[in-house]
């Protein structure tokens, strides 16, 4: 039987999941994963909240809803089997006003339709049993929402790839995928190489590679940074799990939340702000080509026209006072000295030609290349299910999976 040569581009959690599933129990593929950095998981996978989302918010039937539930199942089983830190610490989505109660009902109905287990609306007293220091009028309680070490999961998956005979090429940038007959040519910093299939999971750079490879210009990536602060250890002890505000239904991000991490910290954040650099994490990060790409995008200006008010609101979230005020909504006794600057993450959020932000995951097939074009939160949670979806649904006719295989 012909050995199929498959290239995976991107060593974040999605690329690692795809490569691991392709190599597991399968000797009819040869798999090479290309990652431009010298370490895997250094971008979104290594700069996020570390939450294993349960599937509360996503429209029933969407890819996000479907792949999040399956993703949780696969991720929990994998982390447990590999002794990777995973803690089902639970989550509250806390309402502070009467007006937010209707919003809790909507979230509850979506969560139940999505099959989130044991989710319920609880009152103040029950809330206090779970989070004695948190204030609010009512909350959604999702007891199985968890936290995990995503970079640890990614490293373990890549160890699996190597052990199964796959190759992980760090420090190798792919510039383009071209075609020669039925072959896909991966053009990289180490030369050109022919494959039968290519699966591109390259996050913040996904639109650029797709466009250079002949796929459409849209959806295009608009980077949104998210800053975090950290609670001082004695104040972190006041938070048992995850405390989220009721999200604005018209806005794609979840709002400043208090998140326990597997390292024992509690982070406050992230806010969401247009970033003028895709992959720089200093607070003054600026990259000229990244900034010019935003400034010259007609879709971006359409977006800006419709979201000016929201953007000005977000400007106000850039200072420490607004993080403190977000944290005080949950734990009123906190003071400025309890917060110290934490990390920054940058989200790859896809935008359509009309300036709308793409809400669902977008995965496009173009010939024998697959491009993951929108995989924002909760795509770390869903990563293993996204990999399964690509292999078993998008490439189903090509039978890249063995019948009865169970990864």
Q: Which two tokens stand for residue 392?
A: 């078993």
Question: Does residue number 151 form part of the binding site for ligand FAD (CB under 6 A)?
Answer: no
Q: Confirm if 202 and 370 have CB atoms less than 8 A apart.
A: no
Helix axes 150-163, 63-81, angle to 10 degrees: 70
Going 246 to 251 to 255 to 260, the CA torsion angle's sign is: positive
DSSP letter for 179, please: E
* Segment interacting with ligand FAD, rule: CB under 6 A, options 87-95, 124-132, 197-205, 282-290: 197-205
Question: Does residue number 143 form part of the binding site for ligand FAD (CB under 6 A)?
Answer: no
Question: Does residue number 266 form part of the binding site for ligand FAD (CB under 6 A)?
Answer: no
Q: Enumerate residues 336-375 that contact ligand FAD by CB under 6 A.
A: 345-347, 375
CB of 333 vs ligand FAD, minimal distance in Å: 26
Q: Which is nearer to ligand FAD, 138 or 209 (CB)?
A: 209
* Segment interacting with ligand FAD, rule: CB under 6 A, options 96-104, 113-121, 234-242, 379-387: 379-387
Q: Which is nearer to ligand FAD, 273 or 330 (CB)?
A: 273
* Segment interacting with ligand FAD, rule: CB under 6 A, options 46-54, 98-106, 128-136, 332-340: 46-54
Question: Does residue number 267 form part of the binding site for ligand FAD (CB under 6 A)?
Answer: no
Size of the site for ligand FAD (CB under 6 A): 42
Select from 41, 273, 255, 52 the least CA-distant residue to 145.
52
* Segment interacting with ligand FAD, rule: CB under 6 A, options 8-16, 54-62, 112-120, 360-368: 8-16
Q: Which is nearer to ligand FAD, 179 or 212 (CB)?
A: 212
One residue of 4, 29, 36, 66 binding ligand FAD per CB under 6 A: 36
Question: Does residue number 270 form part of the binding site for ligand FAD (CB under 6 A)?
Answer: yes
CB of 270 vs ligand FAD, minimal distance in Å: 4
CB of 209 vs ligand FAD, minimal distance in Å: 5
* Segment interacting with ligand FAD, rule: CB under 6 A, options 72-80, 306-314, 355-363, 377-385: 377-385
Question: Does residue number 243 form part of the binding site for ligand FAD (CB under 6 A)?
Answer: no
Question: Does residue number 223 form part of the binding site for ligand FAD (CB under 6 A)?
Answer: no
Q: Which is nearer to ligand FAD, 15 or 326 (CB)?
A: 15
Helix axes 379-389, 63-81, angle to 10 degrees: 100
Instruction: Tell me how far apart the alpha carbons of residues 339 and 337 are, in angstroms, rounded to a whole number.
Output: 5
One residue of 4, 47, 230, 373 binding ligand FAD per CB under 6 A: 47
Contacts 24+ apart (CB under 8 A), 301-307: 301/355, 302/354, 302/355, 303/222, 303/351, 303/355, 303/356, 303/357, 304/355, 305/355, 306/355
Q: Which is nearer to ligand FAD, 169 or 179 (CB)?
A: 169
* Segment interacting with ligand FAD, rule: CB under 6 A, options 42-50, 72-80, 103-111, 240-248: 42-50
Q: Confirm if 198 and 7 have CB atoms less than 8 A apart.
A: yes
With 0-12 CB in 10 A as exposed, 13-18 as middle and 19+ as buried, what is 300? middle
DSSP letter for 320, please: H
Question: Does residue number 174 form part of the binding site for ligand FAD (CB under 6 A)?
Answer: yes
Select from 84, 28, 345 the least CA-distant residue to 197.
28
Residue carrying the six token digits 């998008």: 394
- DSSP states of 99-162 as a string? GGHHHHHHHHHHHHHTT-TT-EEEEHHHHHHH-TT---SEEEEETT-EEE-HHHHHHHHHHHHH
95: helix, strand or coil: strand
Cis amide bond preceding 152, omega within 30: no
Question: Does residue number 204 form part of the binding site for ligand FAD (CB under 6 A)?
Answer: yes
Q: Confirm if 156 and 82 have CB atoms less than 8 A apart.
A: yes
User: Residues in the site for ligand FAD, rule: CB under 6 A?
Assistant: 9-15, 34-37, 41-45, 47-51, 53, 173-174, 201-205, 209, 226, 270, 345-347, 375-381
């Amino acid at each position: 039987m012909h050995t199929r040569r498959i290239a995976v581009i991107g060593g974040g959690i999605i690329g690692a999941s795809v490569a691991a599933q392709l190599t597991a129990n399968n000797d009819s593929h040869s798999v090479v994963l290309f990652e431009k950095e010298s370490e895997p998981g250094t971008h979104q996978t290594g700069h996020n909240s570390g939450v294993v989302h349960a599937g509360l918010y996503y429209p029933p039937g969407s890819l996000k809803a479907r792949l999040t539930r399956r993703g949780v199942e696969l991720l929990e089983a994998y982390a447990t089997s590999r002794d990777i830190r995973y803690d089902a610490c639970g989550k509250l989505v806390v309402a502070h006003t009467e007006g937010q109660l209707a919003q809790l009902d909507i979230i509850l109905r979506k969560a139940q339709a999505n099959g989130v287990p044991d989710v319920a609306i609880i009152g103040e007293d029950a809330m206090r049993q779970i989070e004695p220091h948190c204030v609010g009028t009512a909350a959604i309680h999702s007891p199985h929402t968890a936290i995990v070490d995503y970079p640890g999961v990614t490293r373990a998956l890549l160890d699996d790839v190597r052990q199964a005979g796959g190759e992980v090429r760090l420090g190798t940038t792919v510039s383009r995928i071209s075609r020669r007959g039925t072959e896909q040519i991966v053009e990289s910093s180490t030369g050109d190489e022919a494959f039968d299939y290519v699966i591109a999971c390259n996050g913040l750079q996904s639109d650029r590679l797709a466009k250079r490879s002949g796929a459409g210009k849209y959806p295009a990536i608009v980077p949104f940074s998210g800053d975090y602060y950290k609670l001082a250890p004695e104040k972190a002890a006041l938070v048992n799990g995850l405390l989220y505000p009721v999200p604005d239904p018209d806005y794609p991000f979840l709002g400043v939340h208090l998140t326990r991490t597997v390292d024992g910290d509690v982070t406050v954040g992230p806010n969401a702000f247009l970033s003028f650099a895709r992959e720089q994490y200093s607070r003054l990060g600026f990259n000229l080509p990244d900034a010019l790409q935003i400034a010259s995008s007609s879709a971006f200006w359409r977006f800006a026209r419709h979201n000016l008010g929201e953007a000005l609101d977000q400007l106000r979230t850039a200072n420490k006072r607004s993080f403190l005020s977000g944290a005080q909504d949950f734990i009123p006794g906190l003071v400025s000295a309890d917060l110290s600057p934490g990390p920054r993450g940058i989200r790859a959020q896809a935008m359509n030609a009309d300036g709308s932000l793409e809400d669902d995951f977008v995965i496009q097939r173009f010939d024998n290349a697959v491009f993951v074009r929108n995989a924002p939160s909760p795509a770390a949670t869903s990563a293993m299910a996204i990999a399964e979806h690509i292999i078993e649904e998008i490439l189903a006719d090509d039978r890249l999976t063995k019948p009865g295989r169970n990864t």
